Structure 1
Amino acid sequence: MSPLARGWPYSRLWIIYATAISPCAHAFWSCHRCCRTYHEMQGQALHISSMLDCGNGYHQKGREEDLQLSEQIKCIRSTLGSMGERLKYFYLTDGRLAKLDDNSFVFNISAKKEMQEFKLLAKKFIGCRLQVYDPWKLKSSGSLHLPFSTPSERDSETFDSLKVVCQYLGLSVPQRRSARKIISPQVIQYDMLRGALEELVRNLDVDLGAIDKPSNKVLAAKEASARSVQLLSQNLSTTGSASWAKLSSYKNFHSPKSKWGDVLESFEVILDALKDVDSLKFYVITIEGMKEGLGHIKNVQLDNNLDFKKIHHRKSYVEHKLVYNLGYTSKCLFTLLVFYLFQSIRSITVDMAGGLYGATEEIPYVSIGEIITSADRKMLWIAVKHLDKALGLIRFISEIIGTKNLKLEGHIWALGAQETTIDYRGNSIFVHAIE
C-alpha cells in the first residue's frame, strides 16, 4: 500500500522524503495540490448534482400533484352535480332541512345527511380550487390574505352568544365587557323578553304539530308549550290601553297568580321530552339558554292586572335583575339581542366562517360564506338575506365598540351560478359558480 493511501501522517513523511531526494520537488507539489483540488471539485459537483436531482424530483412531484388535484377537482365537481340535482329544491336552516317552494321543514334524516355531505364536499372543492388559482377574485378588498384559504376559514360558524361574536372580531376581554355593558340595557326589556319567549313557544307548538305519529314525550312537550303560550299571552296588557284605569274582574281577582317560574316549569317538561329528538335540537338549545334568564325572575308574578305603578315597578325589577346577571357569555342575552335586531329567536350559522381580514390595514373587512345547491332566484335570495343577518349582527357589535371603516362581505357558492356581485343593504355579496 502506498504512503498516500495510508493517510495524512504517512503521506506527509513521504512528501518530505520526496522533496529531499527528488530534483523535481516543485513539480510534485504542484501535482499534489492539483489532485486535491480535483477531488474537492468532484465532490462539490456530485453534491450539486444530487441537489439538482432532488429539485427535478420535487418539480416532477409538484406536476404530478397538480395533475392529481385537477383530476380530484373534476371528480368532486361531478359528484356535486349529481347531489345538487337531487337537492336543488331544498336548503338547510337552523340545522333543519326546508323545502324551497313553501319553506316547510322536512323531517328526513337521509336527505338532511346528504345535504350536509354536499356542503362538506363543496368546501373541499373550494379549497382545491383555491390551491390552483383564484377564480372568484376574493382579493377584492385589497388585503394580502386570501379569504377562505385555510381549512378553519371554511368551517361553519354558529353565532350563539355575544362572546362568540366578540371572539370572531378579535376583541379583548375589556372590550367584550364594555360591549355587554352597552348592549344589555338596550335589549333587556320586559316586553322584549315576553315577545321572544312567546315567539319561541309558538314556533315550537307549530313544529310539534307537524310531527307524524308523535310519541308520548312529544305529546307532553306539545301540552307544555301550549301552557307556556297561554301563560305568556293571557297576562299581556292590551297595547294602548291604560292599565292603571282598568278594574280587575272578580274572577281575575280571586284566581291564582301565575309567575315566571310557571313558564320555567313548562320549559323543564319540554326539555325532558325533546332532549332526544334531533329534528327539534334547535329548540332544546334555545330553551336551555332562556332558562338562565327565567331562573333569575322565577318568583316574579306575570299578571298585568295591576295599577300602573305596580306594573312599572315589576318591569323595572325584572329588567334590572337580568341586566345585572346576564353576562356576555349568556345564551339568553344573545337570544334577546337577535330578537331585538331581527324579531327572530334563531341563532345564526354560516357555512363558511371566513374571518376578519386586514385588521391592521386602513380598511379592514369581514368575509363569510354560504353554499347552496342551485342558482334558483328564490334560493339565492334566501342565502343573501341569511348572510345579511349575520353581517348585520357583526356590524352592530363592531359599531358598539367603535370600529371604523369596517367593510362587510358575503360570498355565495352555487351550482350553475353566474359570477356577479349583489349590493344589499350596504353589504357586498359575491356570487360564485361551483365550476
Structure 2
Amino acid sequence: MKAFRLVRSHFKSTGVVHLNAMLYHSFSTEPQSDPQSSEWRERALPTLIKLTPLLKHLDLINGRLVNLHNKRTVNDEFLLQSMRTFKSLATAFLEYQLQQQLSTTGTPCLCVDKPIYKEPLALNSLKKVCDILDVSAQQRKLVRLAICPQVTQHQIWIGALEEILNQLKYEMSLKDYKYIMPKQIVVNCLKFLDDVVSYDPESTSWMRLAPKKDTNFPPSAKWEDFLEMFNDLISCLKHDEEFFFYVTKLETMKEGLFQIKDVLVDKNIGYKEAKHQQSLVQKKLTKFLGHSSRCLFTLLLYYLYGSIRDIEVDICCWFSDVSGDKCCLCIGKILTGENMLRGEVKKLDRGIRVIKFVYEMAEMKEILEVQGHLWCLGCENRSFVYRGNKFFIHGISL
C-alpha cells in the first residue's frame, strides 16, 4: 500500500491528467489515414510504461473503473483519469500496428467507407452490432424477426432473470449486515421465479383445472408484483457504486417486465391457462422489445452463452482484400497486464460469435471474417486460433 501511494504521488506530481488532454488532442486532430509518427510514439510510450503498474487488474466497463478480480467499482477519480489516459494513448498505436499485422495476412486495405471505432464501446444492443456491421434498415428487420422468437421464450426469460439475481445474491453474501433488506428482496424474487416454473413431475398437472370462482384461493399473482420488487431492489442499491453493474441490469430487465406486467403467473389458474399466460410472455416480449433494446440483447447473450454480461471492446475497424469479396472486422482490447489475456480472449470470443450470429441473421452477401486483437505492454507478438476464430496478441512498442 505504501508503494502504491508513492507511485500515485509521483503521477500526480508529473501532471498525467494534463498530458492526457494534450496527447489525446494531438492524436484526434491528426489525419485518420496517417499513422502516428515515431516522434509521437516516443513521447507517449514512457507514460504508458509508467501507468501500467498503477492500473494493474483494472479496466473500464460502461465508463466505470472496475477491479477485474472482485468485479467491484473503484471510486477513485485519479485512477479513472489515469485509465482514460492509458486507453487514449494506447489507441494511438493501434491503427499503425493493425495495418502492419494485416499487411502480412493478405487484407491490407482499410475500409474507409465502413464504421471505425477508436473509443471504448459496449456491445449491449442489436442496434450497436448492426451499426458496426453497417446493416441496412431492411436487413435489421430480418435480424429482429429472426432473433426475437428464439430469445423471448419463457424459459430463456426466466433463466436470464435468475442468472442476474443469483449473481447479485452471491455478491451480497460477501457483504456486511447493511444489505439485509436487498438480500430479502432478492430471496423473494427468486422464490417468485421458482413458483413460476416449479412443478411435481409425478403429478397430473396437465389435468389440473382452473379453480372455481367461489374457492378461497388468493388472487392470482402477476408479473407486476415482480416488477414492484425490482423497483424496491433498485431503490436499495442505486446509490451503492459496488452494485452499479447489477442496478444497470435490473433497469435493463425492467423494460421487459413493464411489457408483461399484466400477465398471470399463479399456478392455481389451471394448466391450460398457465400455458396460455406463458405464451403471452413470449408474444409480448417479441412484439414490444425493439431493435435497440438492451433487454432483448441481454436475452440474446443468455440464449447464446448463459451469460448476462455485456461485451466491451476498445477498438473496432474494417479491412478488405483487393478483390473486395471478403471483409475482415477487427475488434480488440487494450490490457494493463498480460495476466488478463486468457479472460479477455474468452470475452472477445463471445463478441465475435455474437457479431457472426447477427451477420448471418441479416443474410449479408459478403464473406465475413472477424478477428480478435489484444494489445499489452511487454507481450510478444503472436497469433492463435480459439474456437475457430483468429486472435492476435500485440506488444505495444515503438
Alignment of 1:166-315 (within 5 A): 166-211=130-175, 214=178, 219-238=180-199, 244=205, 254-304=217-267, 307-315=270-278
Q: State the 1:309 CA deviation.
A: 2.5
TM-score by length of structure 2 reads 0.78
Question: What SS does the aligned partner of 1:254 have?
Answer: coil
One-letter code of the match for 2:135?
A: L
Q: Tell me the equivalent position of 1:393.
A: 354
Counterpart pick for 1:114 among 69, 76, 79: 79
Matched with 1:33 is none
| Cα distance in 2, alignment partners of residues 170 and 289 from structure 1 | 25
Q: Which runs of 5+ in 2 are unaligned?
A: 1-33
Aligned residue in 1 for 2:331: 368
With over 3 angstroms needed to count, the CA separation of the structure-2 counterparts of 1:280 and 1:147, relative to structure 1, is farther
Measured in 2, the distance between the counterparts of 1:414 and 1:235 equals 47
Q: Is 1:421 aligned to 2:387, yes or no?
A: no
Measured against aligned partners, the alpha-carbon deviations of 1:336-380 in whole angstroms (never above 9, x if no partner) come to 11110111111222122x13443992111111111112223xx21
Aligned length: 355
Structure 1 residue 79 corresponds to structure 2 residue 47: yes
User: Would the alpha carbon gap of residues 197 and 241 (structure 1) be closer, same or farther in structure 2, given more than 3 Å must change?
Assistant: farther
CA contact (8 A) 2:90 2:334 kept: no
- Give the SS at the match of 2:329: strand
The residue that corresponds to 2:302 in the other structure is 339
Structure 1 unpaired stretches of 5+: 1-65
1:316 equivalenced with 2:279 (yes/no): yes
Q: CA deviation at 1:431?
A: 0.3
TM-score w.r.t. length of structure 1: 0.72
* SS of structure 2 residue aligned to 1:406: strand
Provide the identity percentage. 31
How far apart in 2 are the matches of 1:429 and 1:160?
22
2 CA distance for matches of 1:400 and 1:240?
37
Contact 1:188 1:323 in 2 (8 A): yes
Kindly state the Cα deviation for residue 171 of structure 1 after the two structures are TM-superposed. 1.0
2-structure distance, mates of 1:255, 1:241: 25
Is 2:311 the counterpart of 1:348?
yes
Displacement of 1:91 in angstroms is 5.0
SS at match of 2:102: coil
Residue 275 of structure 2 aligns to which amino acid in structure 1?
H
Contact kept in structure 1, 2:352 and 2:370, CA below 8 Å: yes
CA distance in 2, matches of 1:134, 1:323: 40
4+ residue segments displaced more than 6 Å: none
Rg larger for: 1
1:7-46 equivalent positions in 2, closer than 5 A:
none
Separation of aligned partners in 2, 1:213 and 1:147: 55
Pairwise CA distance, 1:166: 1.1
Whether the 8 Å CA contact 1:80–1:121 is kept in 2: the answer is yes
Q: Distance in 1 between matches of 2:243 and 2:187?
A: 16
| Distance (Å, rounded) in 2 between the aligned partners of 1:422 and 1:304 | 52
Q: 1:168 offset after TM fit, Å? A: 1.2
Q: Which structure carries more relative contact order (alpha carbon 8 Å, separation 6+)?
A: 2
Shift of 1:243: 5.9
- How far does residue 193 in structure 1 lie from its aligned partner after superposition? 0.5
Picking from 64, 67, 70, the partner of 1:98 is 67
2: distance between equivalents of 1:413 and 1:301? 50
Give secondary structure in 1 for the equivalent of 2:221: coil
Could you list the per-position Cα deviations for residues 317-337 of structure 1 after superposition, in whole angstroms to 9, with x for gaps in the alignment?
Answer: 221122122221222211111
1:150-197 per-residue CA deviation (whole Å, 9 max, x = no partner) reads 996321111111111111111111111111011111111001101111
1:201 Cα deviation after fit: 1.6
Cα deviation 1:46-105 (Å, max 9, x = unaligned): xxxxxxxxxxxxxxxxxxxx9x95454344322322332244345555645235xxx423
RMSD value over aligned CA atoms? 3.4
Residue type of the alignment partner of 2:259: H
**Letter of the aligned partner of 1:157 in structure 2?**
L
Secondary structure at the aligned position of 1:398 is classed as helix
User: In structure 2, how many angstroms separate the alpha carbons of the residues matched to 1:156 and 1:239?
Assistant: 48
